[in-house]
Structure 1
Amino acid sequence: MAEIINLRMARKTRARTADKAQAEQNRAKHGRTKGERLVTAAEVARIDRVLDGARRERDGANAACENGDAPPENGDRARQEADATRKGDTSASGSIEAGLTSAGPPCGTGGN
């Protein structure tokens, strides 16, 4: 026959073991000496420098897209349309909607 157990005690035992596991993780995460933290920070900074130094430059069309700008060949037109939209003027490009549909290739397609 199966042994009778008290469910309340079993829940408390399970909660205690979970708390002990969480405490162990917290000790490992936060219980480091200042020297260990400095060494880790220096290593992270070194890795960032190495990665930034190995970063490749992008060509003109895609570099503008990375910054959130329009492609270079359409930059002036997009800026004029944005200004016209803010002012409520639709005469900058005839029709704002027509200007947006013919603005040119989207970012990432090369455009040239």
Structure 2
Amino acid sequence: MAGGGMPWARAREVGDEGEELVCAHLEQQGWRVVDRNWRCAEGEIDIVACEGEMFVFCEVKTRRSVRFGEPVEAVGQDKARRLRTLAWAWLDAHGHRGAAFRIDLVGVLRRRDDAPLLTHLRAVA
């Protein structure tokens, strides 16, 4: 495919750009990013951050348009349940079993000529 590579490669690039923007946004808010793209048998966590003593597991959805809906609309109940399972797995794997946590969803809309728009929803699952 001329000029852009494989569509999945471009989608991964867009996703990576969104995660970079979200990490910068969280750090500007005074949060500490402690892990990124952590994987286990159940799936992947995009970003693990700490807001004070609270662990926050962030699912990032990045889109270039709203043609198929807002980015935050891409997470349904099944995904929300899986995110909770992943959060417990991360806490267990890192010696933080029983720690306080929440799951946030951050949508990133990256239109061509506009500044990125971030929508941060707290405690979604």
Q: TM-score when scaled to structure 1? A: 0.23
TM-score by length of structure 2 reads 0.21
Bigger helix share: 1
Q: Which has the higher contact order (CA 8 A, sep 6+)?
A: 2
Q: Indicate the structure (1 or 2) with the bigger Cα radius of gyration.
A: 1
